[in-house]
């Protein structure tokens, strides 16, 4: 039996119209991070999810897992590499174990303000670091703001380098941080973030260093007395995707992911920086004694840390180190 031409054409047309819907299957993206649901990183995840859902017509859904629900930094990194988890947004510091040149981002007193930090990370240096990740099983979609790191402790205000002497400080498990605080004669203790509050409460450590919004969100004011604006390192979060998951996506889906990350970045940075400014007043209202470090004492800290910077830089890819120094010279003008 012959099918009339008009029915054949109609059937062919309906199949063509159905192709885009068939091509894009539903994706559930498990997006884990260490911060609480009231933290700017969480707001960034939510905005990213909203934009991606809109772009994909609801086909790509982001499920957020805040507050270390999917494990600590290293556990989530392994889960991404294994393809068990799709996304995370850790501090760049956590990547130094697999791409040591990420340690450059942690060099103390490298940038003086947000404009310099954004120029460094959004420019050629940030892209060169991102380019090293796919061979490690990760894909990065850009950098979010975590903020300038500052020190809290239960012993004394930090006004000069000598005030660090003997302080037991929790630091991110990262060689640059460890050696920087050793140079200040502190006793740095590497520890996963999820264990930090308990360690401060039990006095297993005297203090820690984190951006103001993290200090407030995690209620460290309950177990600390002093917060000192050392601004010793600018910290960024990096938006990571499992390469195993990424390779399953169509080019159109990958494009939507990139666009959602780019469009959510400005919002996340804005929210994060406003939260940092507000957090200082709130921390003081909660009873923490706040102090700023004078530019002269910051300069002294910088000089003490310089041999640490030089030593690490000598072990990194010389081309990346040159790019880092060239970019710093450019953005400081």
pLDDT of residue 3: 53
Question: What does pTM read for this prediction?
Answer: 0.87
Give CA angle at 239 (236, 240), nearest 5°. 125
Q: Distance between CA atoms of 26 and 23, rounded to whole angstroms? A: 10
pLDDT at 121: 98
What's the pLDDT at 13? 47
pLDDT of residue 2: 55
Q: pLDDT digit string (tens) for 50-61? A: 999 999 999 999
Specify burial of residue 1 (Cβ count, 10 A radius: 0-12, 13-18, 19+).
Answer: exposed
pLDDT of amino acid 175? 87
Strand partners, 270: none
Q: Tell me, what's the pLDDT at 194? A: 87
> CA triplet 117, 121, 122: central angle to 5 degrees?
110
Domain ranges of the chain: 26-331
Query: By C-alpha distance, which of 192, 196, 186, 200 is closest to 230?
Result: 186
Regions of the chain with pLDDT less than 50: 5, 7-11, 13-23
Instruction: Kindly report the average pLDDT of the chain as a whole number.
Output: 93
Please tell me the CATH code under which domain 26-331 is placed. Answer: 3.40.190.170
pLDDT in tens, 138-178: 999 999 999 999 999 999 999 999 999 999 999 988 888 99
129's CB contacts (< 8 A; 6+ apart) are 92, 99, 101, 102, 104, 105, 320
Residue 320 pLDDT: 98
- Residue 174: what pLDDT? 81
What pLDDT does residue 192 have? 87
Report the pLDDT value the prediction gives residue 237, as an integer from 0 to 100. Answer: 97
Q: Look at residue 4 in the predicted model and tell me its pLDDT.
A: 55
Structure confidence at residue 172 (pLDDT): 84
């Amino acid at each position: 039996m012959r099918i009339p031409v008009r029915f054949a054409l109609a059937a062919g047309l309906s199949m063509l119209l159905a192709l885009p819907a068939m091509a894009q299957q539903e994706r559930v993206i498990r997006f884990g991070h260490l911060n609480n649901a009231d933290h700017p990183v969480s707001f960034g995840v939510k905005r990213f999810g909203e934009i991606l859902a809109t772009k994909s017509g609801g086909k790509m859904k982001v499920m957020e897992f805040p507050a270390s629900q999917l494990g600590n930094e290293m556990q989530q990194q392994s889960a991404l590499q294994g393809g068990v988890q799709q996304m995370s947004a850790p501090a760049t510091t956590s990547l130094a174990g697999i791409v040591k040149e990420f340690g450059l981002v942690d060099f103390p007193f490298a940038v003086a303000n947000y404009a310099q930090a954004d120029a460094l990370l959004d420019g050629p240096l940030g892209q060169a670091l991102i380019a090293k990740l796919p061979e490690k099983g990760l894909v990065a979609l850009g950098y979010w703001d975590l903020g300038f790191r500052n020190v809290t402790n239960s012993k004394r205000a930090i006004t000069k380098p000598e005030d660090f002497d003997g302080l037991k400080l929790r630091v991110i498990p990262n060689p640059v941080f460890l050696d920087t605080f050793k140079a200040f004669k502190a006793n740095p203790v590497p520890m996963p973030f999820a264990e930090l509050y308990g360690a401060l409460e039990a006095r297993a450590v005297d203090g820690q260093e984190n951006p103001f919004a993290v200090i407030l969100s995690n209620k460290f004011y309950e177990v600390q007395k002093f917060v000192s604006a050392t601004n010793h390192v600018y910290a960024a979060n990096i938006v990571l995707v499992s390469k195993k998951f990424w390779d399953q996506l169509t080019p159109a889906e990958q494009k939507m992911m990139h666009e959602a990350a780019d469009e959510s970045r400005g919002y996340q940075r804005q929210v994060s920086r406003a939260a940092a400014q507000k957090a200082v007043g709130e921390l003081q209202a909660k009873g923490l004694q706040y102090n700023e470090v004078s530019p002269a004492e910051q300069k002294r800290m910088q000089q003490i840390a310089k041999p640490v910077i030089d030593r690490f830089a000598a072990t990194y890819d010389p081309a990346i180190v040159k790019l880092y120094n060239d970019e710093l010279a450019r953005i400081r003008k």
